[in-house]
């Protein structure tokens, strides 16, 4: 039996996240645990939590899981795992161990699909040098998969989303548009080569981006996922109490993303993200509407947005391109806090 996971879900991948504005409200009601060893907690909405074990070691701990983004179970496993591990890389850490998190409808799908998803996850983990040492599965429809990952980092070398400083330049390591391309695929509007390119990007680990950040001494970064480039940039600006200015004309895009958006292929998640972003964002008066909505596009396993000092920006860019992140581009800069935390222009 040929399994098509896409038939089972309406919003796959990170588009399935709870709207960011709702999440922020819910989190604000939760008590913050107090412990001097919590180096990064819930309060800054960072990519992962960080816990200090001793002066040389801190644990980076994160989880992510979501419904299918593609038809093939093996590829889905790879993409979900790459996405889960990405948060560890975004903190400048090395992934070490992980647990599988799986929801699977065993009455509706053959167990081979279950095995394929896990195999995809396991192969991706092996590529990252990560050991999967257990997991948990429950019955649920549609299927969902991801990892809970622990990474190691030296407490003095943590990369957070709150360390952006005025003067920094912003580099994005992957082109944007997975949400648009996946929606277009459902609508049978996407070109095959764009779908394969989106899948290739979602399966590519942010490992080399993390290595470049270490060699270039980057202190601030975040990975771009469900809240879109604008949503994650805004969180970074808030956490660091600065303003991020993005020049969307420099934004690298996957294939035909722009034309698809111009045809109205704007996923629902983009409007949710716009609701979250616009209160705290300024838009240049003639900002192209399509580019604005692309900045809201929910990414699955997206790239790293890193803050780089101007004198090392070009060498960081060279390193990233040499490491295979060929679409990497400088897409904006950090300034002292202005009235709005985020400014989008083109």
Partner 1 sequence: MLIVDTLGQKCPAPLIATKRALKECDAGDSFQVITDNKTSFDNVCRYLRDNKTEYTCLASDSTWTITVRKVEAEVISSPAEDYCLTEIPHFRKGDYIIAFSSDTMGEGDEVLGRKLMLNFIKSVRDLDDLPGSMVFYNRGVMLGIEGSETSDNLNFISQMGVKLFFCATCIEHYRPGKINGAAILSNMFEIAQAMASSSNVIKP
CA distances from 293 to 17, 55, 225, 284 (A): 18, 44, 15, 14
Report yes or no: 220 and 240 within 8 Å, Cβ to Cβ. yes
199/272 with CB nearer partner 1: 272
Distance of closest approach, residue 264 Cβ to partner 1, in angstroms:
3
CA dist list (Å): 297 to 254, 273, 275, 293: 12, 8, 12, 6
Question: Cis peptide leading into 142, omega within 30 of 0?
Answer: yes
Q: What secondary structure does DSSP assign to 113-178, as a single string? A: HHHHHHHHHHHHHHHTT-EEEEEEEE--SS-EEEEEEEEEE-GGG--BSS---TT-EEEE-S-B-H
**In the complex with partner 1, which residue's Cβ is closer, 223 or 256?**
256
Phi-psi region of 123 (alpha: psi -120 to 50; beta: other; left: phi over 0): alpha
Residues lying near partner 1 in the complex (CB under 8 A): 10, 183, 187, 189, 263-268, 271, 274-275, 278-279, 289
Helices (H) and strands (E) in the chain, counts: 11, 13
Nearest distance, CB of residue 177 and partner 1, angstroms: 14
CB of 263 vs partner 1, minimal distance in Å: 6
Strands 220-223 and 49-54: unpaired
14 is catalytic: yes
Question: Which is closer to partner 1, CB of 186 or CB of 321?
Answer: 186
Nearer to partner 1 by Cβ, of 200 and 279: the residue is 279
* Residues shown for the chain: 346
d(CA 48, CA 234): 17
Among the options 14, 70, 265, 307, which is catalytic? Answer: 14
Q: Select 164 or 281, whichever has its Cβ closest to partner 1.
A: 281
Q: Between 126 and 187, whose beta carbon lies closer to partner 1? A: 187
CB of 10 to partner 1, least distance (A): 6
Residues 6+ apart with CB under 8 A from 149: 61, 62, 63, 84, 85, 87, 88, 95, 97, 98, 130
Q: How far is the CB of 285 from partner 1 (least distance, A)?
A: 13
Cα separation of the two ends of the chain: 48
Whole-number minimum distance, CB 267 to partner 1, in Å? Answer: 6
Would you please indicate which residues are annotated as catalytic (active-site) residues?
Answer: 14
């Amino acid at each position: 039996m040929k399994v098509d996971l896409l038939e089972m879900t309406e919003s796959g991948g990170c588009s399935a996240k709870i709207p960011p504005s709702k999440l922020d409200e819910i989190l604000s009601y939760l008590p913050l645990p107090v412990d001097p060893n919590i180096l990064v907690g819930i309060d800054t909405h960072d990519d992962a939590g960080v816990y200090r074990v001793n002066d040389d070691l801190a644990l980076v701990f994160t989880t992510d899981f979501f419904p299918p983004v593609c038809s093939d179970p093996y590829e889905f496993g790879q993409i979900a795992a790459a996405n889960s591990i990405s948060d560890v890389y975004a903190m400048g850490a090395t992934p070490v161990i992980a647990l599988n998190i799986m929801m699977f409808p065993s009455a509706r799908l053959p167990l081979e699909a279950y095995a394929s998803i896990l195999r995809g996850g396991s192969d991706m983990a092996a590529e990252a040098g990560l050991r999967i040492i257990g997991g948990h599965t429950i019955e649920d429809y549609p299927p969902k998969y991801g990892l809970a990952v622990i990474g190691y980092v030296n407490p003095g070398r943590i990369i957070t989303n709150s360390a952006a400083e005025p003067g920094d330049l912003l580099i994005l390591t992957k082109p944007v548009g997975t949400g648009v391309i996946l929606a277009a695929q459902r609508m049978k509007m996407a070109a095959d080569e764009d779908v394969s390119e989106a899948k290739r990007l979602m399966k590519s680990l942010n490992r080399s981006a993390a290595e470049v950040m270490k060699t270039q001494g980057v202190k601030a970064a975040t990975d771009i996922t469900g809240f879109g480039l604008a949503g994650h940039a805004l969180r970074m600006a808030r956490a660091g109490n600065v303003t991020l200015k993005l020049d969307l004309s420099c934004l690298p895009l996957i294939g035909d993303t722009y034309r698809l958006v111009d045809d109205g292929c704007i996923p629902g998640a983009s409007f949710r993200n716009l609701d979250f972003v616009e209160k705290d964002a300024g838009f240049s008066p003639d900002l192209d509407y399509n580019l604005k909505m692309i900045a809201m596009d929910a990414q699955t396993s997206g790239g790293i947005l890193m803050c780089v000092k101007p004198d090392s920006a070009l060498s960081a860019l060279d390193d990233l391109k040499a490491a295979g992140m060929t679409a990497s581009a400088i897409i904006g800069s950090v300034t002292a806090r202005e009235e709005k935390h985020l400014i989008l222009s083109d």
